[in-house]
Amino acid sequence: MIELRNVTYKYEDHPVFQGISFRVEKGQKVGIVGESGCGKSTLLKLIAGLYTPASGEIIVAGKSAAAEITKKVTVVMQSPMLLPMSIRENITMGHDYPEEWIDMVIDAANIRSWIDTLDKGLDTYLGDRADELSGGQAQRIAIARAICKNAEILLLDEPTSALDGENAACVLEALNRYAADKTVIHVTHRPEHLSGYDRIFSMKAGKLSDETAGVIIYES
């Protein structure tokens, strides 16, 4: 369950949310569409515990401390960040996982055929080579990282924006299968990627509506 209670957030002197409240139940799939700059990424970062609200409360999976929330949540950010480590470490973030789990993850993120072309495979160091990756490869590593963590809440910020249609469809299908019993919030420019979702939110600067229920959730 994700709950925002009267949350206010601003960048320096630019207010993004002034007292937003809503609730997403455990297991719900929520899509968010909306024009650029209206605050979609900011909202996901608040829920992920990466930003601290100026006032109000955010409760995620029963937790309100950011350090606890980050354990419950996994995020695929709009611009994936790769670290100067091997592909494997970029996926596992240095944690130990069974080899079968990592195998499942690289299939789900559709990176096996690419990894198989690399001499050192999963242990290829990404340090100086991160720039040589395509946006799509970087994005798929970020998706693999998110799936690998296996958190109960999955936050997706335009997770397939750098993938072509066929790859995007393939990765989305795997993400949906993996996330069947998870709570998902998925920001996208492509509403067709949200078929089967429980709720579709539409966002504008200062306004959030639940299109499915036909109600305004927040208006500043």
Ligand X SMILES: Nc1ncnc2c1ncn2[C@@H]1O[C@H](COP(=O)(O)OP(=O)(O)O)[C@@H](O)[C@H]1O
- Among residues 12 and 99, whose Cβ is nearest to ligand X? 12
Number of residues binding to Mg ion, judged by CB under 5 A: 2
Closest Cα partner for 156 from 164, 166, 146?
146
Does residue 21 interact with Mg ion by CB under 5 A?
A: no
> Which option in Mg ion, ligand X, none does residue 39 bind, with CB closer than 5 to 8 A by kind?
ligand X
Closest Cα partner for 73 from 158, 180, 181, 182?
182
Q: Pairing between strand 14-24 and 2-11? A: antiparallel
Site string for ligand X, 32-71 (x = CB under 6 A): --x-xxxxxxx-----------------------------
Contacting residue, 2, 7, 16, 106, with ligand X by CB under 6 A: 16
Kindly state the tokens that stand for 139.
């994005």
Does residue 41 interact with Mg ion by CB under 5 A?
A: yes
Does residue 159 interact with ligand X by CB under 6 A?
A: no
Measure the CA–CA gap between 100 and 23, rounded to whole angstroms. Answer: 35
Largest CA distance in the chain: 54
- Among residues 37 and 127, whose Cβ is nearest to ligand X? 37
Closest Cα partner for 63 from 144, 181, 151?
151
Is the Cα dihedral 7, 139, 142, 31 positive or negative?
A: positive
- Among residues 36 and 195, whose Cβ is nearest to ligand X? 36
Closest Cα partner for 186 from 38, 44, 66, 4?
44
Rounded least distance, CB 36 to Mg ion, Å: 7
Does residue 42 interact with Mg ion by CB under 5 A?
A: no
Contact set with ligand X (CB under 6 A): 11, 14, 16, 34, 36-42
Contact set with Mg ion (CB under 5 A): 40-41
